[in-house]
Chains A and B, each alone.
Chain A
């Protein structure tokens, strides 16, 4: 069984938002709404500063509260790679999943259903990278199967320091940030 994950090298990322623009055109995301976004986290006092730049999105958690709280079964874990998806036909737009997500990764589409990153499943099922990964001019994003120890993502996680977001939330997020 594959477990799809994304590994993002914060050392290379310049925070240019190409991933955000590419997601919007690829997935026709409505104006003023985004499935992915950038965080620029600065610590220290000038000039002794440290900044981590992160491209963030749905973490496709192994322990996904959005799936557990969904009253209709619209939010579900897909059998392809453990990707968390929303079946828009089943979604009633109740926003329980928005409230449950510690990453604030979801929004309500103007047509009334919950929307978020799909790991570009229409591309990844065919073996392509998600649009954000494919477009990145710094090549800072990697996508693959972390159950395969020989995959690029597994090798990066084995060789580099990394962290995921809000591990204390217990959601087992599947976006990893190399530091």
Chain B
């Protein structure tokens, strides 16, 4: 038996524990009942807002007690949270109290990357940035400044950069995350999956998860609906090299050999077509090129897939029949972070095709059609046209690289090579490029070519260590942001509004972006004085007002149809107007019209494939210094199968380093010797092993998977970077 505990018992009797009680509770010897009485009389104030602990944007209600931030709960009116936040959302108050936050604008002194800083005023910092930007514009043109941005907080920086004249705006959420999935679905159905995913998990009778570790990945609505599906008795099929939390809920667990998911998908489709288990009426009505598709997948029997995947043919057949039995309420989840092996858009297309066979697109328990409220945008002057166009994808090398603006790694390449034109300035908003992009060496090399690197964030991430100027942003509980006009199963508008003031000299993103625009002589792009005017304008033109939405934080719209049988038009925005089982556009561009399988490279002898994923209490590398969340998990461990661990004389709790195929050595990390993983791979939770000394609570705790990802395979369709192609071995002399 293998028992893992969440809390650190060795600390339990320690009297050294400092009160976490910055939240201003009642310390001292007061009985629980008296303490409660105190709380209820103690001037409780509630303010609705929406969360920023991940990018799901759940509606929340913040509680203040005696004027101080106390706790935060889900907003019952909010369709995303339905009154319940995830642990990161609940721990969101720790972001406000985090002692490792950035406090004032900082400018580099000495060499770039030396992490030596001078504290400056906002005026000094912004004047410096504006002067540099004007120099870059004069010498290279405005396109030479790029913005990397993650999350809704980047809205106003995008606006300022576009007004300045650059189209080079990128987010890692495309080429390092969801891009392949949306490309694969677009090629098949003519629409992507987007976020929040349009997956109707709640009504699924059969849910298949391929590497998706819901429950560890805490996107709130999906986890809530996953639990509902379990409660309703849905069949759960989980495919994962690791016995994930989701796997423990599964009727069928398929411990697949990493990198062979495509073989399994082809074999499933082979069974469903050969045994005529697919939704024939649906395929006949909506399908394009089905007969050609049928011929293409004919060789991929379960017996063919067995040596590739190590999944028994009987289990492949049983699971194919199970998912077909529940069609169309049978959902093959498309995943979210799917940049694994470099053929990810085609694998996502295979997932889309399997869903098409089951008739789940547009159907209850499959993929619904999301709806939204109509909130007009603010009438800004038009942006100046770019003469040079985007820098990231010359000659349309990746023909489907048009998800969220530019490719992050494409901008990085151009910065290094100067081709197709030089890039001399980077703005980095709320994304830690050192960890987010594969092979940090290339990122650091690109930085050497810059005349300006500005990082705007709430904590000093690793990329901030390389900055010329660091601008400290207010955390979400201290600021307004753009409205969240969500595309979801229920239409709504959500407001983020300040709950408390920023503790030091931090500023909200809208204020920073507006001030910068003014210093660049772009005042006409900010005709409003305060974001309240901007928000009120947008809301008034939608028939509401800022005063109205401030009360509940949410405005909901009328229910609208979300399934074909409720009246959603059964249209597909593909070239054929149908679901493309066979893709002529892919064929014309020289790609496989029906996905094919390429075996993954095997690990070198003595090496194990490095896999990574999420923990429910952390978001990327952004939360490790949050005192509440660090208290839940303050370092990661490397998961190693017990038999492999024993071979190396390792046991749980031992400290080792990981060394990858290129000789890169990780920080020290503890071993978790477990039955819950295959013998040919190891696993790390992403986001640990921080190396910026200003992150005092998280500095050098655990190992960084990102640092070990020196190799990546580029998706030829859309430029995504497959990152599960690295291997590690163990260094004992920790």
What are 30 A-B pairs at a CB distance below 8 A? A12-B231, A14-B227, A14-B245, A16-B223, A20-B7, A21-B632, A22-B90, A25-B91, A25-B628, A27-B25, A30-B19, A31-B631, A34-B6, A39-B6, A42-B675, A43-B2, A46-B675, A46-B677, A49-B676, A53-B248, A86-B32, A107-B13, A110-B19, A112-B29, A113-B29, A122-B33, A135-B74, A135-B84, A137-B218, A138-B227
Q: Which residue of chain B has the shortest Cβ distance to A123 in the bound complex?
A: B36
Given contacts A42-B2, A88-B29, contact A15 B90 (CB under 8 A): no
Q: In A36-52, which residues have CB < 8 Å from any B CB?
A: 37-47, 49-51
- Kindly state whether residue B12 has any CB partner on chain A within 8 Å: yes
Q: Could you tell me if B31 and A16 are in contact, using CB atoms closer than 8 angstroms?
A: no
Interface 1/0 per residue, B247-263 and A, CB below 8 Å: 11100010100000000
Q: A108: CB under 8 A from chain B?
A: yes
- Which of B73, B224, B247 is close to A138, meaning CB atoms less than 8 Å apart? B224
Q: Tell me whether B346 is interfacial, beta carbon within 8 Å.
A: no
Majority secondary structure, B binding face: mixed
A104 at the interface (CB under 8 A from B): yes
When the two chains form the complex, which single residue of A33, A39, A46, A123 contacts B17, counting CB atoms closer than 8 Å? Answer: A33
Interface: B558 (CB within 8 A): no
Instruction: Chain B residues near A43: list those with CB within 8 A.
Output: 1-2
A159 within 8 A of B: no
B12 touches A21 (CB 8 A): no
B658 located at the interface, meaning its Cβ lies under 8 Å from any Cβ of chain A in the complex: no
Known: A30-B20, A42-B676. A21 touches B243 (CB 8 A): no
Name the contact of A25 in the complex, choosing from B4, B9, B71, B678 (C-beta under 8 A).
B71
CA A18 to CA B73, docked complex, whole Å = 11
The answer to the question of B629 belonging to the interface, with a C-beta cut-off of 8 Å to chain A, is: yes
A14 close to B223 (CB less than 8 A): yes
Of all chain B residues, which has the CB nearest A28?
B25
| A67-106 residues at the B interface, CB under 8 angstroms | 85-89, 91, 98, 104
* Complex-state Cα separation, A30 to B631, whole angstroms: 10
Which residues of chain A are within 8 angstroms of B255 by Cβ–Cβ distance? 46-47
A30 touches B17 (CB 8 A): yes
Q: B residues near A, CB below 8 A?
A: 1-9, 11-21, 23, 25-33, 35-37, 39-40, 70-74, 84-87, 90-91, 93, 214-216, 218, 220, 223-224, 226-227, 230-231, 243, 245-249, 253, 255, 616-617, 627-629, 631-632, 641, 674-678
Contact with B along A5-35 (1 / 0, CB 8 A): 0000001101111101110111111111110
Cβ–Cβ contact A137 & B243, under 8 A: no
Q: How many residues of A contact B (CB 8 A)?
A: 62
Q: Which residues of B contact A26 (CB under 8 A)?
A: 71
A165 lies within 8 A of chain B by Cβ:
no
B36 close to A122 (CB less than 8 A):
yes
Q: For the complex, give the distance between the alpha carbons of A164 and B35 in Å.
A: 30
Which residue of chain A lies nearest to B617 when distances are taken between CB atoms in the complex? A17
**Are B73 and A17 in contact (CB-based, < 8 A)?**
no
Known A-B contacts: A88-B32, A121-B33. Give 7 more (CB < 8 A): A21-B87, A30-B17, A33-B12, A37-B5, A38-B5, A85-B33, A138-B223
- State whether B31 touches A122 (Cβ < 8 A): no
**Distance between A38 CB and nearest chain B CB, rounded to angstroms:** 4
Determine whether A157 belongs to the interface, using a CB cutoff of 8 Å to chain B: no
The chain A residues found within 8 Å of chain B, CB to CB, are 11-12, 14-18, 20-22, 24-34, 37-47, 49-51, 53, 85-89, 91, 98, 104, 107-108, 110-113, 118, 121-123, 125, 134-140
Min CB–CB distance A18 → chain B (angstroms): 4
* Cα distance, A114 to B224, chains bound together (Å): 35
Bound complex: CA A110 to CA B15 (Å): 5
Contact call B616/A14, Cβ cutoff below 8 A? yes
Across the interface, A32 reaches (CB within 8 A) one of B8, B25, B27, namely B8
Are the CB atoms of B215 and A16 closer together than 8 Å?
yes
Residues of A within 8 A of B93 (CB): 25
Whole-angstrom distance from the CB of A178 to the nearest CB of chain B? 11
Which of A31, A42, A110 neighbours the largest number of chain B CB atoms within 10 Å of its CB?
A31
Distance in angstroms between the alpha carbons of A86 and B425 in the assembled complex? 60
- Also in contact, A137 and B20, with CB within 8 A (given A47-B243, A107-B13): no
The 3 A-B residue pairs with the shortest CB-CB distance in the complex, in nearest-first order: A122-B36, A14-B215, A28-B25
Structural contact, A31 and B31, CB atoms closer than 8 A = no
A33 touches B11 (CB 8 A): yes
Distance of A62 from chain B, by nearest CB (Å): 20
With contacts A31-B20, A32-B631, A107-B13 known, is A18 near B36, CB below 8 A? no
In the bound complex, residues from chain A placing their C-beta under 8 Å from that of B218 are 16, 137
On whether A34 and B629 interact (CB within 8 A), knowing A16-B223, A89-B31, the answer reads: no
What residues of chain B lie closer than 8 Å to A46, measured between beta carbons? 243, 255, 641, 675-678
Question: Which of B26, B616, B629, B675 contacts A49, CB < 8 Å?
Answer: B675
CA distance A20 to B18 in the complex (A): 18
Known contacts being A32-B14, A85-B32, A121-B36, is A18 close to B27, with CB within 8 Å?
no
Using Cβ atoms and an 8 Å threshold, which residues of chain A touch B26?
Answer: 28
Contact A17 B616 (CB under 8 A): yes
Q: Write out the residue numbers on chain A whose beta carbons fall within 8 Å of the beta carbon of B74.
A: 135
Q: How far apart are A138's CB and chain B's nearest CB, in angstroms? A: 4
| CB nearest to B248 among chain A residues | A51
What is the bound-complex CA distance between A139 and B5, given in angstroms?
21
- Contact yes or no, B85 A137, CB < 8 A: yes
Chain A nearest CB from B672 CB (Å) reads 11
**A28, A42, A89, A91: the one within 8 Å of B1 (CB):** A42
A140 contacts which chain B residues (CB < 8 A)? 227
Choose one: A30, A41, A44; the contact of B3 (CB below 8 Å). Answer: A41
Asked if B17 and A110 make an inter-chain contact with CB atoms under 8 angstroms apart, the answer reads: yes
Closest A residue to B37 using CB positions: A122
Q: Is the CB of A30 within 8 A of B245?
A: no
Contact of B4 (CB < 8 Å), options: A27, A39, A104: A39
The answer on a CB contact under 8 Å between A31 and B19 is: yes
Contacts of A21 in B (CB 8 A): 87, 90-91, 617, 628-629, 632
Contact among A29, A44, A87, A125 with B675 in the assembled complex (CB-CB below 8 Å):
A44
Q: State the CA gap A121–B6 with chains docked (Å).
A: 24
Nearest B residue to A37 via CB reads B7
> In the complex, how many angstroms separate the beta carbon of A134 from the nearest chain B beta carbon?
8
Assess whether A85 is in contact with B627, with CB atoms less than 8 Å apart. no
